Amino acid sequence: MGRQWEMREHVTEFMHMVRTMLLEVAQQRSRPFLLAARVPQTVEGCRADGFDLQAWAEQQLVDVLTLGSRSMDVDVEGVRAIVGDDVQLQPCFDDHHATDGYRYASIEVLRGVFANHFQRGANSVVTFNWSMVMPELAKSVGGEVAPLTHQVAFQEIGDPATMAGKDKVFAVAAAATECRK
């Protein structure tokens, strides 16, 4: 533990192995087989986990990076500066293990989260642990009934244009802290 960055070449080698395998499969089926990796939402987080994003980008080992999960605040600019424009960046928002204080957030909060991702340079966005079915179906199979805001959000959050001119709430993630005199 604590030596992840020191041992980063092993993760890079793993990525190289997966990339090589996918390139072989792509050649066999005569169409691309892209590789996406899910990584922390900050450059510092990736470093702490031993993910050398710069090496991955320089060696063209990955096509898409899914950034983060719990936090609304994703450092798209920081990761972009490391990997350049050839890697697609897609911030992720988990609404089960959500940002503290914002589970099942209002549509205005969700617009703020995803519009910020695009403004900061995301190519696309990802939802995780969101309701994918109508409440009646969820109930019938004993599943969790998520708020209707998810259904509204799915019609808006995929493109900045569908959120333009609509009310939004922008929040500081994990603001809970002590403020001194």
Partner 1 sequence: MKFTLHISDTRPADDKAATLTLRIVMFEAAAEETFEIRFNGTVLSVSATDAEWKDSQIFSPAKQPASGGKGIYKTHPKQKLLRLDHDVPLDAWKSGPNEVAIRVASDRTVAQIEKIEAHLKYAQGEKETSNQSGEK
Interface with partner 1, residue 44, by CB under 8 A: no
Residue with tokens 């994003």: 53
Segment interacting with partner 1 (CB under 8 A) among 2-10, 47-55, 80-88, 111-119: 111-119
- Min dist. Cβ of residue 164 to partner 1 (A): 8
Q: Cβ distance 59 to 16 under 8 Å?
A: yes
- Burial (Cβ within 10 Å: 0-12, 13-18, ≥19) of residue 36: middle
Interface with partner 1, residue 128, by CB under 8 A: no
* End-to-end Cα separation, the chain, in angstroms: 38
Interface with partner 1, residue 70, by CB under 8 A: yes
Cα–Cα distances (Å) from 46 to 30, 31, 141, in that order, read 33, 30, 38
Segment interacting with partner 1 (CB under 8 A) among 10-18, 19-27, 38-46, 100-108: 100-108
Listed residue (139, 144, 130, 132) closest to 98, CA to CA = 130
Listed residue (109, 46, 99) closest to 69, CA to CA = 99
**Residue of 59, 103, 125, 138 that binds partner 1 (CB under 8 A):** 103
Interface with partner 1, residue 105, by CB under 8 A: yes
Interface with partner 1, residue 83, by CB under 8 A: no
Total binding residues toward partner 1, as defined by CB under 8 A:
46
**Residue of 66, 71, 90, 116 that binds partner 1 (CB under 8 A):** 116
Q: Cβ distance 83 to 53 under 8 Å?
A: yes
Using CB under 8 A as the criterion, which residues of the chain lie in contact with partner 1 when the complex forms? 70, 73, 96-98, 100-109, 112, 115-116, 118-120, 144-149, 152, 160, 163-172, 175-181
